[in-house]
Amino acid sequence: MGLFDFFKKKETAPEAQEALDKGLEKTKEGFFSKITKAVAGKSSVDDEVLDNLEEVLVTSDVGVTTTLKIIKRIEERVSKDKYVNTSELNFILRDEIQLLLSENNSNDFRQFEYGDHKPYVIMVVGVNGVGKTTTIGKLAHKLKESGLKVVLGAADTFRAAAVDQLKLWGQRVDVRVVAQPMGSDPAAVAFDTLQSAVANGEDVVIIDTAGRLHNKVGLMNELGKIKQVMQKVVPGAPHEILLVLDASTGQNAFEQCKQFTEATDVNALAITKLDGTAKGGVIIGISDQFKIPVKYIGVGEKIGDLQLFDKKEFVNSLFK
């Protein structure tokens, strides 16, 4: 089985769709009841309806810029025929959100080619508590299930608990973890991990980092140094810089995305904790504003609660 073939499996798995629907429950409830209220008693899409809709999108954490874009498109679309009913408006809104998402990053994870890189190196970044280590554990599990040899590097050496937590995930999913004592140089851990991955012929390396957002220059230096040593061992590494964002933080997630994309070459996003929040709309705004593909979504704390982000499924689920 090729790299990342587990994607294909997911497409047909009804339990994945179920988990997504369940994970988005809170977002959907908020979204829907608000839309229903926004258009209650109206038989046409007038300025008031559009204003209400705008408010719904903004309060669903889609973000102001993206909301205005969506409203403008709906305005243009209904300008000819203002007499659309609620279900038609729902359809138009769904359609526009889907279009917007597909314009922003046409690359669905399925289409990415990983086969040329061995080991394929993923550096995971993001502020404390967003779900980096958990996402790494879940991802390692999926990759291992699909027959790949995976190794994890505990380069979040800032807190002892962080190293232990990764080791625990390593035990749970039965993958090797390279670690040094707390306070060690994160770059040295990354170096060791890559070197041993090459020696062992492992397929995927995932490096956990502390990603402390002390200040931009500090972050840039820290991540830059890790990248540099990686390249000494595996030219072109890291192939993926995965920024993890916690959906439940809403607008803070936008700010973190801004800071991290300025500090390093983030080329993939994971949005976690969609299950616990009504702020799932952040995915729409972040995709639109940063044009970085959302690859993974976290819909729970369990080992199986990581999914590939599928725009169409996501929007369908949101409007179900």
Ligand X SMILES: Nc1nc2c(ncn2[C@@H]2O[C@H](COP(=O)(O)OP(=O)(O)O)[C@@H](O)[C@H]2O)c(=O)[nH]1
Q: Which residues are annotated as a binding site for GTP?
A: 126-133, 208-212, 272-275
**Residue with Cβ nearer Mg ion (143 or 162):** 162
| Position 276 contacts ligand X (CB under 6 A) | yes
| Position 142 contacts ligand X (CB under 6 A) | no
CB 79 within 8 A of CB 297: no
DSSP string, 76-105: HHHSS-----HHHHHHHHHHHHHHHHHHH-
* Residue 276: contacted member of ligand X, Mg ion, none (CB under 5 to 8 Å, by partner type): ligand X
- Asked if residue 238 has a cis previous peptide bond (ω within 30° of 0), the answer is yes
| Position 133 contacts Mg ion (CB under 5 A) | yes
| Position 36 contacts ligand X (CB under 6 A) | no
* Residue 27: contacted member of ligand X, Mg ion, none (CB under 5 to 8 Å, by partner type): none
Among 85, 128, 200, 221, which residue interacts with ligand X (rule: CB under 6 A)? 128
Which of helix, strand or coil describes residue 302? coil
Binding-site residue ranges:
126-133, 208-212, 272-275
Among 193, 209, 272, 307, which residue interacts with ligand X (rule: CB under 6 A)? 272
The gap between the terminal CA atoms of the chain, to the nearest Å, is 34
**Could you say which DSSP state residue 112 is in?**
-
Pairing of strands 294-298, 306-308: antiparallel
| Position 135 contacts Mg ion (CB under 5 A) | no
| Position 311 contacts ligand X (CB under 6 A) | no
| Position 129 contacts ligand X (CB under 6 A) | yes
Q: Name the token pair of 270.
A: 């994971």
| Position 273 contacts ligand X (CB under 6 A) | yes
| Position 67 contacts ligand X (CB under 6 A) | no
| Position 162 contacts Mg ion (CB under 5 A) | yes
Q: Which residue is nearest to ligand X (CB)?
A: 298
Give dist(CA 147, CA 142) in Å, integer. 9
| Position 157 contacts Mg ion (CB under 5 A) | no
CB 152 within 8 A of CB 318: no
Give dist(CA 135, CA 309) in Å, integer. 14
Give dist(CA 129, CA 35) in Å, integer. 32
* Residue 273: contacted member of ligand X, Mg ion, none (CB under 5 to 8 Å, by partner type): ligand X
Contacting residues toward ligand X, per CB under 6 A: 126, 128-134, 165, 272-273, 275-276, 298-301, 305
